[in-house]
Every structure is written in structure tokens, then in C-alpha cells.
Chain A
């Protein structure tokens, strides 16, 4: 799967979880940029991403990623 396609799918999930149809994500987006992205919705987002891409995150990834770019990197890496 291409990086762009992964970003697109993650955006789609995020739009649903944060209830914002116009939400745009890019590599530099951080949680604080998005309304409603708190510690709880973050876990729900990670869960949906795991299901969508059929991967499992490691504990340090769930808490330690710095921005959406790093999240996409992990997804790409895990899918290989």
C-alpha cells in the first residue's frame, strides 16, 4: 500500500472518530491540532487503525508517537 493511501485511510477513520467531515491530516499534524483528540479518543483511534490495517501497535508506539507522520511510518513498517 502506498503511503498516500495509508494517510487517506487514517484520515477517513479520524474524521469519523473526531466527528469532523473536513478534517485534513498531514505528516506534521499533532493531537493538539485536532478538536477532540484526547487520551481517550486516541486509544479508540489506534484501535480502529489496528483493525483497518490488521496490525498491532506496541505499547510505546501507542503513547510515544510525535505526529501523524510517525504514525503513518509505523503502519507502513508493520504492514511489510
Chain B
């Protein structure tokens, strides 16, 4: 981990790229924390400007709509209520008022959130609570309502509940940092009493990482797929040599290690991370344990792709990445063999290759400690992402049997649907605006809260699109937000689409329905824009292809009265 002085130096440096602004507010002194976050951002390539509010000014800063915090126009506000300070408040209370401490503080926190929503569009990062055990009641504190431990643990739970019920608030798990470092490393009493800083300087880097991990996920960076070796990674031993009965998996001995590892991987899959196999093996040998071994946790159906052959792994990983059509930087490659790791690292610098410990017993805690799978959202569609990719594989097989693309597209029996944003779909819509990088014309990111606001604002026309075909349901694949600039002229603020459904007539279907919808709302003219980013070159000319007129660099317009419906094989489905 970086030393504090390295972070402090890095904080002074300029960073390229899109600028994000973070305001830090605490009930303790936060200058060091702000420096550390700024420095960590620079070292991770994030252009983050940090504003540090004065000591213990949260109420004043948030109440006054013209405060420095709001003037700074932050994209994010980090709220940090240190347990050490809360502890002092707690002790100053009458003993009789201590039993409601957690509820009182929680009420104050939601007031803060309300104040922020009133005066700012900033998303809220809320630092979780660390623990202090004052041992005033000893172990008995855990069942004594007026004990600090009891109240703080309750507060932690209340905070979780409140966060999950409210869009636009993102937790930063400070307790996890305190636990992994230990009390003594996390807290330096001399620093606290000297400067009201309750995080030791040596711990600042770890805390800053936690904040930057969350910000990075909110900005759309997410790992999407774990590529796995088999022998001595998913089970002990070598299937080709040891055979089905010889490999280690299951309750006995070292098998337990691999069983737990597979259980963890399966829970990643259940939350939307794709699993793929990349193994140097004969395919039949490699598949046998998943089909026949009774104690295997993962089954073939858990994998989005299964590649077992004797090619080099870099080539196979490129094939997996291309087939799944996701960014190379969203892949994690896990292999016990240092040679393979080094080869893949050197051939594909963008991919994440954890330096796995040599003892399999340590795989799990090591990988969990890296926090590789940060996310800023979770929707029910995530759960079945593997199924969607598997249906895609079947489509590809079927595609190969047709000689003309038209015949193939007709055979898919595609049904599309367009509808205005509704409450049920806010999370998925927000998630797509945050995650889509390639097919995204202006890359405007929205939180759930903002999506809700846009949906209920008459000056916007919103559409989400779904698509299904005979192989399966693609779910919600595209989002359009149009802003009424006048009664007759609408501007396409957002158009994004999942790359899963590229080039099968969905683009045309979207534009047809978009123009129709704009027409129904009285528009005669549409304006549109393409804003280039490092990742969206694929849609550079999409508006040209859709029949819009180019009226300047990246600027387009369309006369709705002259628009001729674009050809597509996607038919309307009932909503």
C-alpha cells in the first residue's frame, strides 16, 4: 500500500481525463483523508478534484444552499461521521437517553441526505462506522441497550437499511478496513488528540482505496468475467493424470479448500459475474468432473464459456473476450501456474491477473481481500447474465447454418418493445447509463434518483427497449432520453445500447420507435450528438447510418416529417 507521504505528493499532481469533483465533510479533521483520496485517485488515473470542508462543519455546510460545499459543485459528497467523535457525544448524554442513540443519529443522517438532495445533484458516499469497544459493560454490552457497543452495532444496521431503501447513497465500508488492519494499526490516539484525526496515517492508503474503489464502480468501471484455470485451481490435482476419483474436491482434506473456492465463484456468478474456463486439457477430460463428479459445486451450466485445448492461454483469453464482447479490462484471470500468469500478463497488459498465493488454502482470503468485484448497482437482470450469454452462443451456432444474414435474422423471430421509464425498471436503466461505454452516444451517467426525476419531468421523453427472440430474452437492452428544447425540437440526450444485441436490426428498430414517439409528443425536428470517448468509437457514425443529417462535428439533426421508416426484422411485441 502507498505511504501517506506518497499520497500527499500525488495529490498535488494533475491527472488527465474527465474531471470528477468530491467534497469531503466530517465530524473530525479530514484534511489528511482528503489528501489521501486525491493522491490515490491520481495514482489510479482518476482525475478527481477534492474539496475538504473545515472541521466539524457538516450541518452548516449542508444547510446553507450557498455554502462552499455546494459552490464547489461536487459530483460526490463523502460524509464521514467518525465513531470516536460519536462516542464522546454518547458519553455526554444522560444515561437515560443512551438507549435511543442509534435512532437519533440515523435520523440526523437521513436529514443530511435530504439536505444534499435539496441543494445539489451530488451522489452521496457514506462512510460506515468503525467500532470502539469501551468495555464499560464488558461482554455484557452486547445485550445492554444503553451500552455504546450495542448502539453502534445497531446504528450500523440502521444505516444499511436506510441505504438500501434510498437511491443515490453509496456505502463505503470503513469497518472492513478497520477489521482487516486491526484496531492498533487503524487508530493512533496521539494523532487523534493532537489533530482530531481518527485514522492513523499508515491506514490512510487503505481507506482511500476503499473510497476510490466505490467511485470507480460508480463511474462505470466493473469487472465482468472471471477466467479460470482448472487443475490445481478449481480442484486439487491434475484431471488428466489423477482421474475423476483422484482429484481433490469435497469435504475431505484439501478438497474443502476447493469446494469453498467454487462456492464463492458460484456466488459471483449468481450476482452477475460471468465465469469462463480456460484450460490446457483435452476438452472431454476437462468437462468430465463437471458432468460426473458428485461433489463438484460448479456445473457446466455455470460457465458462459468453456475453452479447453492446447493453444496458448493468451490466444484463448482473446477468443473468450471477443466472443463475450466485453472489455479486456473487465476480465480477471485466475491460474495457479506462475508461468501462465506471466505469459498472459505480458501478452495482454489490460487484463487483471492476481498473483495467487502458492497454497490453495489461501486462494479465497487472498482474492476476497483484493476487492475485485466492486459494483454501484445490482438488479435482478444481473442474476441471469450467464443464461443470456449462453443463449447468445446458441444464436451464433444457428447463425453459422444460414447463408444470408437476412435469412438468419428472420429465423430469430425477434420481438421488440419500447416503453416510457417506469419504477420497476429505474435500477436497470440507471445501471445501464453507468456501465455502458461502447454503444453510448454521449455517455451521460445517471443515478436511480436522477432517472426517477427525468421520468417524471414533462420536459423529457423517455424510452427503454427490450428484445427477445426464439432463443431467449435479452431483457432491457437500450435506453433513450430526449429533452424537449422547444415544442417542436427534441434533443437526444442519451442513447445507449447493450452490445449484446448489436447489428441485428435493433438500432433501426430503436430509431423507428424513437421518431414515432417524438412525433406523438409533437416534435418536428430531432437534434442529436456524438461525444467521443476512449471507448465509444463504434458508434461514431451511427447517426449517419440511421439517416440523420450531419450539421457539424458530432452534431446531427433529423426532420421527422421527411423520415422514412428504417428496415428491420424486429416486430413489435405487446408491452
Inter-chain CA distance A62–B192, complex, in Å, is 12
A-B contact pairs, 21 of them (CB 8 A): A17-B8, A19-B9, A39-B195, A40-B32, A41-B8, A43-B32, A43-B191, A43-B194, A43-B195, A43-B197, A43-B201, A44-B8, A44-B32, A44-B201, A47-B191, A47-B202, A48-B5, A51-B202, A58-B190, A59-B193, A63-B194
Inter-chain CA distance A42–B202, complex, in Å, is 15
CB distance from A5 to the nearest CB of B (A): 21
- Complex interface: chain A residues within 8 A of B32 (CB): 40, 43-44
- Complex interface: chain B residues within 8 A of A17 (CB): 5, 8
In order of increasing CB-CB distance, the 7 nearest A-B pairs are A47-B201, A59-B190, A62-B194, A17-B5, A44-B5, A59-B193, A43-B195
- Complex interface: chain B residues within 8 A of A44 (CB): 4-5, 8, 32, 201
Tell me if A37 counts as interface (CB < 8 A to partner B): no
If A40-B31, A40-B32 touch, whether A16 touches B5 (CB-CB below 8 Å) is yes
6 new A-B contacts, CB < 8 A, other than A17-B5, A56-B190, A59-B193, are A19-B9, A43-B191, A43-B194, A51-B202, A58-B190, A59-B190
For the side of the interface on A, what is the size category? 10 to 19
A-B residue pair count with CB separations less than 8 angstroms: 35
Residues of chain A having any CB pair with chain B under 8 Å: 16-17, 19, 39-41, 43-44, 47-48, 51, 56-59, 62-63
CB distance from B12 to the nearest CB of A (A): 9
Q: Among B5, B8, B31, which residue has the most Cβ atoms of chain A within 10 A?
A: B5
Secondary structure call for the A interface? helix
Inter-chain CA distance A43–B202, complex, in Å, is 12
For the side of the interface on B, what is the size category? 10 to 19
B193, closest chain A residue (CB): A59
Inter-chain CA distance A16–B4, complex, in Å, is 12
- Complex interface: chain A residues within 8 A of B191 (CB): 43, 47
- Complex interface: chain A residues within 8 A of B202 (CB): 47, 51
Q: Is the CB–CB distance between A59 and B201 below 8 Å? A: no
Inter-chain CA distance A59–B195, complex, in Å, is 10
CB distance from A15 to the nearest CB of B (A): 11
Q: Among B9, B32, B190, B202, which residue has the most Cβ atoms of chain A within 10 A?
A: B190
CB distance from A34 to the nearest CB of B (A): 15
- Complex interface: chain A residues within 8 A of B3 (CB): 48
Inter-chain CA distance A42–B455, complex, in Å, is 52
CB distance from B42 to the nearest CB of A (A): 15
- Complex interface: chain B residues within 8 A of A56 (CB): 190
Inter-chain CA distance A63–B197, complex, in Å, is 15
CB distance from B29 to the nearest CB of A (A): 9
Inter-chain CA distance A76–B8, complex, in Å, is 28
Inter-chain CA distance A43–B32, complex, in Å, is 10
CB distance from B38 to the nearest CB of A (A): 14
Identify which of residues 1-27 in chain B touch chain A, using a CB-to-CB cut-off of 8 Å.
3-5, 8-9
Inter-chain CA distance A57–B201, complex, in Å, is 14
- Complex interface: chain B residues within 8 A of A51 (CB): 202
CB distance from A19 to the nearest CB of B (A): 7
Identify which of residues 516-567 in chain B touch chain A, using a CB-to-CB cut-off of 8 Å.
none
A17, closest chain B residue (CB): B5
Inter-chain CA distance A57–B5, complex, in Å, is 18
- Complex interface: chain A residues within 8 A of B31 (CB): 40
A59, closest chain B residue (CB): B190
Inter-chain CA distance A4–B201, complex, in Å, is 27
Inter-chain CA distance A40–B8, complex, in Å, is 11
If A40-B31, A51-B202 touch, whether A59 touches B194 (CB-CB below 8 Å) is yes
Inter-chain CA distance A70–B190, complex, in Å, is 19
Inter-chain CA distance A47–B194, complex, in Å, is 13
CB distance from A70 to the nearest CB of B (A): 17
